[in-house]
């Protein structure tokens, strides 16, 4: 008697319970074993690259936030660094330290979200709640610094939006202590947990050569044993002065990726602590005696006392763009062709007013010299590269974002073929696919 079997097609459709976003996997199954996988992406295509061609250089910032939306400050920094490389601008040290601090804060939130969500799908609901609570502390700090929790748009061409508040270092130290406790608790719950290890150990294995052939970077590549980190290979901002380790795995399976991410959270916290020690001095806010009330300032201007305005500084809220001149100089470059002048200069001198006009008026704006540049930063998932083409105009000609999570997604068939359905969940969780970045 002969029997005939067929393989069975299962569609893990665009909407599935793993809170990772929208992706479609068409699996060919034989029983529970996966024979082949077909990955379909593009369900969140939001035309980032096309929008970037229609917006001015600074206006592209909100669109870059929404690329990798769990670590938006890294995308902001990456885009600004690429444009500044083309324009030949270096921002002052305090601004560079601030960009590093915010990038590492974003990296912490990225890894916390990834581990929390993957753990939840494997059944560890408590770990999700602990890590999201830890992420919440970090969001509150990001809110204090930048003004928004998630979509921050913090950096500008030529600097950052504003300096950090006076109590920021103190709050940061407390928050880092709390995050360390939460990560230690999750570690105790997961790392030697029999159930977790059975699901995650030995699944989703990829070899070094395959990972490099697919162009995979980031924790995925480091779990296979290649210690490639853009912060070490091509140091940018102030990473060459900071002491941190790059955690490297050996087997290339999901467990190694989980351990790499946990270790990277700790390393990011070390980087933030060093930055807070090393950051050059700058005044957070001006001394009271130097400040006059905003109404007095306005009255002086109306009465024609504009000559005196140059000697006084208006007491304006620090989150207003172009606040006190001394403050801005610490975190933004003084290059007048890209950075807005401070309010005192705008209202106090004709050169400042013209400078302000030229940056803000339609079809004037910041002009970046014609040319191309590529800049790579280390995102949460790997090498996040921006390839900028400028035609010398007030808006980009072409912005290409090299998404780090496209590479593991293209390698998913290699990771999943031959394994069980139950291995899809930890493997897909460890890819940390962020649809905003994948589909742009």
Region 85-124 residues binding another protein, contact defined as CB under 8 A? 113, 117
Q: Which is nearer to another protein, 38 or 167 (CB)?
A: 38
Distance CA 105, CA 381 (A): 15
Cα-based angle 183, 134, 194 (whole degrees, multiple of 5):
35
Burial 270-283 (b: 16+ CB within 10 A, else e): bbbbbbbeebeebe
Q: Which is nearer to another protein, 137 or 297 (CB)?
A: 137
Minimum CB separation of residue 27 from another protein in Å reads 9
Distance CA 161, CA 352 (A): 19
Pick one of 99, 111, 135, 156: the residue that binds another protein (CB under 8 A): 135
Minimum CB separation of residue 243 from another protein in Å reads 17
Q: Are 426 and 394 in contact (CB under 8 A)?
A: no
Of residues 305 through 364, those in contact with another protein by CB under 8 A are: 362-363
Of residues 155 through 194, those in contact with another protein by CB under 8 A are: none
Cα 132 to Cα 21, 115, 420, distances in angstroms: 17, 10, 29
Of residues 244 through 303, those in contact with another protein by CB under 8 A are: 246, 248
Minimum CB separation of residue 368 from another protein in Å reads 11
Pick one of 251, 393, 417, 419: the residue that binds another protein (CB under 8 A): 393
Of residues 41 through 60, those in contact with another protein by CB under 8 A are: 41-47, 49-51, 53-54
Q: Which is nearer to another protein, 10 or 354 (CB)?
A: 10
Distance of CA 36 to the CA centre of its chain: 33
Would you count residue 220 as binding another protein (CB under 8 A)?
no
From the list 244, 168, 255, 139, the residue with the least C-alpha distance to 205 is 255
Interaxial angle between packed helices 93-121 and 125-146, expressed in degrees from 0 to 180 and rounded to the nearest 10: 160
Q: Are 63 and 56 in contact (CB under 8 A)?
A: no
Q: Which is nearer to another protein, 116 or 323 (CB)?
A: 116
Q: Which is nearer to another protein, 224 or 355 (CB)?
A: 224
Contacts of 287 (CB under 8 A, 6+ apart): none
Minimum CB separation of residue 334 from another protein in Å reads 22
Pick one of 32, 38, 174, 198: the residue that binds another protein (CB under 8 A): 38
Pick one of 58, 76, 106, 407: the residue that binds another protein (CB under 8 A): 407
Pick one of 141, 242, 272, 406: the residue that binds another protein (CB under 8 A): 406
Q: Which is nearer to another protein, 55 or 93 (CB)?
A: 55
Minimum CB separation of residue 124 from another protein in Å reads 14
Minimum CB separation of residue 425 from another protein in Å reads 13
Q: Are 152 and 65 in contact (CB under 8 A)?
A: yes
Minimum CB separation of residue 256 from another protein in Å reads 15
From the list 400, 393, 408, 389, the residue with the least C-alpha distance to 363 is 393
Q: Which is nearer to another protein, 208 or 283 (CB)?
A: 208
Q: Which is nearer to another protein, 297 or 428 (CB)?
A: 428
Would you count residue 429 as binding another protein (CB under 8 A)?
no
Of residues 363 through 382, those in contact with another protein by CB under 8 A are: 363, 367, 369-371, 374-376
Distance CA 381, CA 384 (A): 8
Minimum CB separation of residue 344 from another protein in Å reads 30
Distance CA 104, CA 170 (A): 17
Surface-to-core class of residue 3, CB atoms within 10 Å of its CB (0-12 exposed, 13-18 middle, 19+ buried): exposed
Minimum CB separation of residue 290 from another protein in Å reads 35
Question: What long-range pairs does 257-260 form, CB within 8 A, spacing at least 24?
Answer: 257/204, 257/219, 257/220, 257/223, 257/430, 258/115, 258/118, 258/190, 258/200, 258/430, 259/191, 259/223, 260/219, 260/222, 260/223
Interaxial angle between packed helices 168-190 and 254-278, expressed in degrees from 0 to 180 and rounded to the nearest 10: 160
Task: Please identify, among the stretches 98-106, 260-268, 394-402, 421-429, the one whose residues bind another protein according to the rule CB under 8 A.
Answer: 394-402
Q: Which is nearer to another protein, 218 or 322 (CB)?
A: 218
Pick one of 233, 294, 354, 422: the residue that binds another protein (CB under 8 A): 233
Distance CA 428, CA 422 (A): 11
Pick one of 295, 381, 383, 419: the residue that binds another protein (CB under 8 A): 383
Q: Which is nearer to another protein, 229 or 264 (CB)?
A: 229
């Amino acid at each position: 008697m002969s029997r005939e079997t067929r393989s069975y097609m299962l569609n893990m459709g665009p909407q599935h319970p793993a809170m990772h976003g929208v992706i479609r996997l068409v699996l060919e199954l034989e029983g529970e074993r996966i024979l082949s996988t077909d990955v379909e992406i593009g369900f969140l295509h939001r035309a980032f690259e096309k929008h970037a061609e229609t917006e001015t250089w600074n206006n592209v910032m909100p669109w870059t936030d929404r690329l990798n939306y769990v670590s938006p400050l890294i995308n902001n920094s990456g885009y600004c660094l690429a444009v500044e490389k083309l324009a030949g601008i270096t921002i002052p040290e305090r601004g560079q330290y601030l960009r590093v601090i915010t990038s590492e804060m974003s990296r912490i939130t990225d890894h916390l979200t990834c581990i929390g969500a993957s753990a939840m799908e494997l059944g560890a609901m408590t770990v999700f709640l602990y890590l999201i609570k830890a992420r919440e502390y970090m969001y509150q700090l990001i809110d204090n610094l930048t003004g928004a929790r998630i979509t921050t748009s913090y950096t500008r061409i030529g600097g950052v939006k504003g300096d950090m508040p006076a109590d920021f270092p103190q709050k940061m130290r407390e928050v880092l202590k709390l995050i360390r406790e939460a990560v230690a608790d999750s570690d105790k719950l997961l790392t030697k947990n029999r159930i977790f290890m059975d699901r995650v150990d030995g699944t989703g294995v990829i070899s070094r050569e395959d990972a490099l052939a697919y162009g995979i970077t980031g924790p995925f590549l480091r779990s296979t044993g290649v210690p490639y980190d853009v912060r070490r290979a091509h140091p940018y901002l102030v990473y060459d002065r900071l002491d941190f380790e790059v955690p490297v795995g050996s087997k290339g399976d999901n467990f190694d990726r989980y351990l790499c991410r946990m270790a990277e959270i700790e390393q990011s916290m070390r980087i933030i602590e060093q930055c807070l020690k090393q950051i050059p001095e700058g005044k957070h806010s001006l001394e009271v005696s130097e400040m006059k009330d905003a109404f007095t300032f306005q009255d002086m201007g109306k009465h024609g006392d504009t000559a005196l305005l140059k000697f006084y500084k208006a007491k304006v809220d620090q989150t207003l763009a172009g606040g006190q001149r001394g403050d801005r100089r610490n975190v933004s470059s003084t290059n007048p062709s890209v950075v807005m002048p401070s309010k005192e200069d705008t209202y106090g001198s004709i050169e400042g007013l013209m400078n302000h006009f030229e940056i803000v008026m339609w079809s004037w704006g910041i002009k970046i010299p014609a040319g191309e540049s590529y800049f790579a930063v280390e995102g949460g998932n790997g090498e996040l590269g921006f390839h900028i083409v400028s035609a010398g105009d007030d808006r980009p000609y072409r912005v290409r974002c090299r998404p780090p999570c496209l590479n593991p997604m293209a390698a998913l068939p290699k990771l999943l073929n031959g394994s069980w359905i139950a291995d899809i969940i930890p493997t897909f969780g460890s890819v940390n696919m962020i649809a905003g970045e994948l589909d742009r």
